[in-house]
Structure 1
């Protein structure tokens, strides 16, 4: 046994102390990692099973909490798309050999149009007719218009043996798509049901099948593609008008796209959205990537305010002196809402401040632009200044890996841009309007899962643009689409912009009542 005289107790003490320090540091790191993992788990569980509303009502205000004296409860509603059941896409069967004759059941014919030549020389004899069909659609069932064009044999001049006899027939009525049996109502229904009601084309095909009409999946897709070709000049005009606004909101959302170069998987593309709140217009553009070159190219000639979330690619636009950036208050608020369990006291204080800012917006929403600006300067700006001081005082006390620190960091980095809306009564406090416009895409991709190609994705972007603008303008999209498809082939090129939803609405309102 070793003698006690030979034991170096000082060395053992120092060794033990160092071990304890290392263990404490290791325990501290493990606790931080555990908090991070628990926070992520909480967010995942909330995303999957929790309420999608971001409603917050503080239990009580802190003793030194800023007060407005408003009795209305502090709430902010930012709803997210409800879960929609997905259905596995059916594999498209190879197209069968095209039949020579397409038989329309007479049971679905509810209208017959008989057309004779405008001028029928005296003595002409009707020798028969040519029958064409135009498929129509109503919400309840598929019907068809039967077009009968009578043919006339012109009289034979005296002394003519009849070798030069001639038959005349009236031309077909105007068609939306040349040599296509789809009427404007059917083309509009295909588009509205997919891009407004989120009904995939193959499900529409199944519905048509129940009426006795077997329309190939490829045929329906071809009709939509050709309709988009017709609407493309109108889409360019919409894009041009949106970018002429002096106030834009921008955001982006994902869409999976089939790509021949990626076997066994899909490409992750993006729909980029730009919305002009003053004019109530929105357009979408598809891009394969999410890099900074996209907004830079899109807004190369833009001048005005640009509101967005905290995505860094928008910050690169700050070098353009013609663009003034402002950020979304709802995004900053969301970070504090997610950190409520991590640091209840600080999160509650911040959420109450955000709540008071939104209370002010609710109070002044129906006031004039100048009155909104004045109220924001008088009420919102002092609140925001005090909140900024509070952020500075508390930031140094936080754990850098905690959820509350993330909320502080996000808000402090964008503090000035979050307050830009206070300098102009036209500006919005957050980006929620454009998120509402994107919601339809989120619902759609849960149903039809992906776009068939990059070109198909751009066509979808075009149609989402029209549907989104109709929604903002309060227009029934199918009424607008049917009318536009009937007119677009005969509309003068220099007047094509009159078919845009907002201009179409104005012209409809001033049309004389017959």
Structure 2
């Protein structure tokens, strides 16, 4: 191997200095080039790592989607077997109608949820690993998975209202050429105005670009049921009739037929399920607002849930939580549970801290054992025990106890409109001494009555809960009883008599969401139908960051502005 002899170094000091400086400059340039290459490699490695993480997350989402789809398809198939299978139970025609209605509603709701999962999955699959997440409340549901024989024709006799949609531009987005009108696209929606139906005709020009052949039309406004027949007002009417007026869908079907609008019960079930899906978004936001308060009322009531395999119903429960009676914007939130176990209020409240006013049900005891939740009692339940004794036969002791309690309620009537601070002061001055005397009388009387008698149990009930019963003396924001939340359950009781049961646990959860909205609207002096009409029109395109504006009390402010 022939080696190249080294270059002789210059003998001149200046030339030698110039050579050294030149070599140092080349070395710095080489090091800068290596540093740039290293930085570029690091960026590539980081990008690869981010892409790998995004792909892993995407794979996880797909696996979860597949699991959800399989579960929903299984549930739909089971509901359809129950719906269309043979039944040996002896049921009246009305019971059969309600039974079928409950199952049709569940099938429609499950299909709506399945459609949403499929649509969201398609969006995830279409987006790249760096794709931005949509800020809308949720993805607009896609076309129905279930294949129907055809869309119902809207009766020709209904009045038509035309809505024209003008194009935003008359320039082709593809080539920049001019767009010419070559026709129209017409979409009809069944709309309900209190007392009658009408048809909204959406008329959109069909525009063509002659240079490149592009044909386009202005987009339709987003609908509560994408590509569906009803407007938001029509869906709101079905929901209000079912849950506010307690009118089963088979009766609504008959009413619509008399009005010349033949809508099948299965279609109404589908509309109801989709509407309740949208409303659940508002209900969850109401729950978050409710848990910001420091005083809550709670109660529970049975809700039969259908067990189609046996032809019977199981006893589930709706738990209701309400803000304090004088809250600036009162809220009532319902929570469905398959049973009455105490774990359900624990799960609902989570880490919430404050005063919880309830009846004597032991399911709340685990909450009270935590330092973060303080128990407040209910004098209405104390009164009820003495009242029941009196109803079974004259009881001087029960009569005297009822007279004591009546004085307490008399004080509450006098201070009803007072602010919390004045209420607490008046209670301590007027009710405090009265309660001390009442307790002494109860303790003395307890020693004189038969230990296992009804009056003894009533006295023991009051004395055992004395600390919780007298908490309202010092806290003016508290009510004397739990009646504010019990009033919120009246609608459930009426509905239970009319539609008897819900189809399954998912149906119970949707019913809880709807009752949350209806009762909160009532508490805030809002007509439920008007509220539902507006929010169902807005929700399909409403951004998450502005969701608080659609909460009933905020909606009322904007409506009155």
What is the TM-score when the length of structure 1 is the normalising length? 0.76
Alignment match of 1:421 (pick from 449, 455, 472)? 472
- Inter-partner Cα distance in structure 1 for 2:467 and 2:447: 20
Q: 1:299 aligns with which of 349, 355, 369?
A: 349
Q: Alpha carbons of 1:395 and 1:89: their partners in 2 closer, same or farther (altered >3 Å)? A: farther
Aligned residue for 1:446?
Answer: 497
Shift of 1:397: 2.4
Do the aligned residues in 2 keep the contact of 1:109 with 1:143 (CA within 8 Å)?
yes
In the other structure, the counterpart of 2:389 is: 339
**8 A contact 1:89–1:448 mirrored in 2:** no
1:274 matched to 2:291: no
**Correspondent of 1:286 among 326, 329, 336:** 336
User: Please, which of 322, 347, 358 is the counterpart of residue 409 of structure 2?
Assistant: 358
Deviation at 1:423, TM superposition (A): 1.1
Cα deviation, residue 491, structure 1: 2.3
Structure 1 residues 124, 429: closer, same or farther in 2, change over 3 A?
Answer: closer
After superposition, what is the alpha-carbon deviation per residue over 1:30-55, rounded to whole angstroms, capped at 9, x for unaligned? xxxxxxxxxxxxxxxxxxxxxxxxxx
Q: Where in structure 2 are the equivalents of 1:308-387 lying within 5 Å?
A: 308-340=358-390, 341-387=392-438
- Following superposition, the deviation at residue 348 of structure 1 comes to 1.0
Aligned match of 2:508 in 450, 454, 457? 457
Q: Which segments of 5 or more consecutive residues in structure 1 lack a partner in the other structure? A: 1-85, 158-163
What is the CA distance between 1:126 and its match in structure 2? 4.9
Alignment of 1:180-259 (within 5 A): 180-259=228-307
1:265 corresponds to: 312
How far off its partner does 1:120 sit? 4.4
**Structure 1 position 153, deviation (Å):** 4.0
Q: Deviations over 1:200-239 (max 9, x none)?
A: 1221122112222222222222222222322333222111
In the aligned structure 1, how far is the partner of 2:284 from the partner of 2:401?
A: 43
d(CA) in 2 for partners of 1:154 and 1:443?
60
Task: Please say if residues 196 and 440 of structure 1, whose CA atoms lie closer than 8 Å, have aligned partners that are also in contact.
Answer: yes
Bigger helix fraction: 2
Aligned to 1:105: 155
TM-score, normalization: structure 2? Answer: 0.70
Deviation at 1:89, TM superposition (A): 5.2
Pair 1:133–1:282, CA change in 2 (3 A): same
Asked if the contact 1:92–1:217 (Cα under 8 Å) also holds between the matched residues in 2, the reply is no
Shift of 1:123: 8.4
CA contact (8 A) 1:330 1:432 kept: yes
- The SS at the match of 1:284 is strand
Given the alignment of the two structures, is residue 144 of structure 1 paired with residue 144 of structure 2, yes or no? no
Post-superposition Cα deviations, 1:350-402, rounded to whole Å, max 9, x if no partner, equal 01101000000000111121111111101111111111111111113223443
Q: Deviations over 1:231-259 (max 9, x none)?
A: 33322211111111100000000111113
Alpha-carbon distance in structure 2 between the residues aligned to 1:294 and 1:397:
41
The structure-2 alpha-carbon separation of the partners of 1:153 and 1:316, relative to structure 1 and needing over 3 Å to count, comes to closer
1:475 counterpart residue number: 526
Structure 1 residues 383 and 172 mapped into 2: Cα distance closer, same or farther (>3 Å)?
A: same
The DSSP-based 3-state class of the residue aligned with 2:540 is coil
Query: RMSD value over aligned CA atoms?
Result: 2.3
Question: Number of residue pairs matched?
Answer: 417
